[in-house]
Every structure is written in C-alpha cells, then in structure tokens.
Amino acid sequence: MTSTLSPSALADLPLAMASSSSGSGGNPIMGLLPLIMVMVIFYLLILRPQQRRQKQHQQMVKALQRGDRILTNGGLFATIVDVKDDFFVATISDGVKVEIARSAVAGKTDKKAK
C-alpha cells in the first residue's frame, strides 16, 4: 500500500514540522545561543591571535634599519643596506644587491653572515 501526498500537503509539511517542534514556546534567542557561542570561540581562538601576530610583524618591519639581518619569505638571508618607502635594498652575497619588498620580509634574524 502506498500513500501519496498532494503537492499542497507537501508544501505545508515544513510548516507543520516547525510548529510541532517549537510547541514549548521557548525564547527564540536561545535557539541562536549555540551559533553565537561558536562565533565567540572562533574569534578568541583564531582571529584575535592572528591579528596580534600581524600587528607584531608590522611593528618589526617598521623598526628595521640599515645593517639588520633579515629572512625573506623566499628563504633568503640578507643584510639591509638601504631603507626605502616600500622596499629595502639588501645584500645577499658580496657585491649582490637586491630590492626586497617590505611585505616579503618574514623576520629579523640574529645570525651573522659567514
């Protein structure tokens, strides 16, 4: 035996299910509470530490000066020779000068060149 539902009965099915599940008359904000908690945890565990690291990196790049030894995102160690607005002029070897974008600096190192 098969039961068939009319198209109008199928259209009313989600409404009927929603009214039967929320029959307790609870606070609608309580339904959003888990979503809000997930968003707060996401912010505290992921976004806030990333913003802190980014701010520290920007301060480090602003503080770089002539003679500092840096590591680029490409893995090159270089010594800053000149500081420009958007980039650094640095030496990676004797007589080899390169221009390195400020955004390409991964960090400052204390290693001395051999």
Residue ranges of the domains in the chain?
28-63, 65-114
Contact criterion met (CB below 8 Å) for 14 and 5: no
Res. 29 pLDDT band, cuts 50 70 90 = confident
Q: Is the pTM of this model over 0.75?
A: no
Residue 88 has a CB neighbour count (10 Å cut-off) of 25
Res. 31 pLDDT band, cuts 50 70 90 = confident
Q: Residue 6: helix, strand or coil by DSSP?
A: coil
Residue 84: pLDDT over 80:
yes
Q: One-letter amino acid identity for 56?
A: Q
CATH architecture of 65-114: Roll (2.30)
Average pLDDT over residues 47-75: 94
Residue 79 has a CB neighbour count (10 Å cut-off) of 17
